Structure 1
Amino acid sequence: MKKYEWLKLVVVVQAIAMIALTGFVIIKWWPQPSEERSEQPSQTDNVEQGLLPEDKTDIVASIGNEKISREQLTKELYAHHGDTVLRSMMVQKALELEAQAQGIMVTEQEMKEELQSWIADYDSEEQFYTIMREQLSMDKQQVRDEVKSKLLLDKITMSMVNISNSQIEEYIANHPEQFLPEVLLHMRWIVTETKQKSDQLLLELEQGADFAQLARQYSVDPFTANDGGDMGKIAVDDPFYDKKLLARTDGMQPGQITGPIEIDQGHAIVQLLGKEVTESLSLEKQREEAHKQLALMAAMSQQQVEDELLKKYDALITK
């Protein structure tokens, strides 16, 4: 499954935080605001009451004779998304504090390996970062920051659980399929709401129409349409995709097109662009992966871990 689908939430949080929430998050170790306050209404009070002088208002949009100010946008964003963004910002700070307290670090090698697992869904590293930039407005450093946060959360979660060597060996023995070489299918598709539309597009493809162009024009899948239907490289047993679709595509030769296949979103026309088999994991890597899976299964949920960290570091929200 393409990682940028998950990253879209991260981008929303970042964007809203940058626009609306600077200065609203307070954690125990942050300097506390002065209790003294001028009797004169502040600019913030005026913003909330819609009383900013016109020459002070930063207009970000207009429609007809109506104008929308940055202050109005900020207030609306905060009202609808403030709680979510505040929590995200506090969790990030709590992760950093806990990692420092436990001496937990993310090495450059770990970053490289995790990034490579994300990039593996794409044709190349260049394509990966191009999509991150064009579709998610994330540069390389922002992607690295999100990778690091994920790895930190995993490590902190795993530190809360003790796993024995015998448990690790038993897990490897009982789940050999997880450590075998993986078959990856590089696919693209066109998703339509009706079989009739798919049949029409299949006929156009048979007559020489360009697959990518049809995907951009007609596919209703928002995550792939702009990429000409490119789904990236998907494991043949990926649980996020329809089993019938993957099995049917796995039996094809590169370049072949099949469909329509009925899926949850409607009907899909699929083209196999390529197929590859990954290398087997070394014994050391198998043990590392088994330890990680056992610890994450035995540990609290991510929500619970975050709640515990926020409580530990006395997170406080003032509005």
Structure 2
Amino acid sequence: MKKIFSGIKTNAFWKNSLLIVLGSLITAVSISVFMVPYKIAPGGVSGIATVIYYLTSQKFPVGAIMLVLNIPLFVFGFKFIGRKFIVRTFFSTILLSVFIDFLEPYTRYFVDNYLVKVEPTPSVPDLFLYSIFGGFLMGLGLGMVFKAGATTGGSDLAARIANHFIANLTMGQLIMIIDTAIIICATIAFNSFHLGMYAIITLYISSKVIDAVLEGVNFAKSVLIISDKSDEIAARIMDVMDRGVTALRGIGMYTGKDKNVLLCIVHRGQLQQLKEIIMELDSNSFIILTDIREVLGEGFKTYDGN
């Protein structure tokens, strides 16, 4: 039995390590190719490093600047945050910094020869595309790192530390405040509102992709059915669609009568068939639909530890 659990832990360790490595690499590509060359600074330590990189006439590598900026956060982090989390985050932070500086000459060659080499001015529409693709890749990479139970340092780690001192603000609010402040500073430093707006676009897209990686895309629907013919509807759904149905006890407050409220989870492709079954048996029924990010269980997906 111990060997079985040991094997599970080992597999989880290597899976999380692989996610951290790949996620850090993808994030490094997004920063090196789509952000730093065009002065797009979407918050976080990478945003501060981009500003410093240009204010110092590109004397210091972006990855090295990020690593130096993260050191004080790790010093405080060891005191307030769990050891396992901080070790994983330290590992991913070092990887990200190394990847960025290692890839710098290759990404510079790619930018110079395959991307339109432009100055980031308001008249250049290409920056909009770069902010979109940069945000997508950054969100994908960070989402993989977060899924492995780590972060790449920066605003997320700073927010976790700040949360110990400012308990009335949530983690999400603290991250938003920190990233917004960094974007404002970058806007002032580069003297361009347009670059600030591109950074906001990148940050928004990145956050949405992170949510999709962590929670899954909207691939299922939760359906609540209120009907006087709940038994017939449930039987038809289970027989025709082979989907499970759960009856929740409810009371009609207007009539005072007990009734069953049916709960059913279906794939998006089955939604139309479900509606037709319900309307055929009771055209006066109420149907409430909600999006489901992720469903674990028979007929959907199994829990894999992440």
Classify the TM-score, shorter chain: under 0.3
Comparing both chains, which one has the higher relative contact order based on Cα–Cα distances under 8 Å and sequence gaps of 6 or more? 1
Higher percent of residues as helix:
2
**What is the TM-score with the length of structure 1 in the denominator?**
0.24
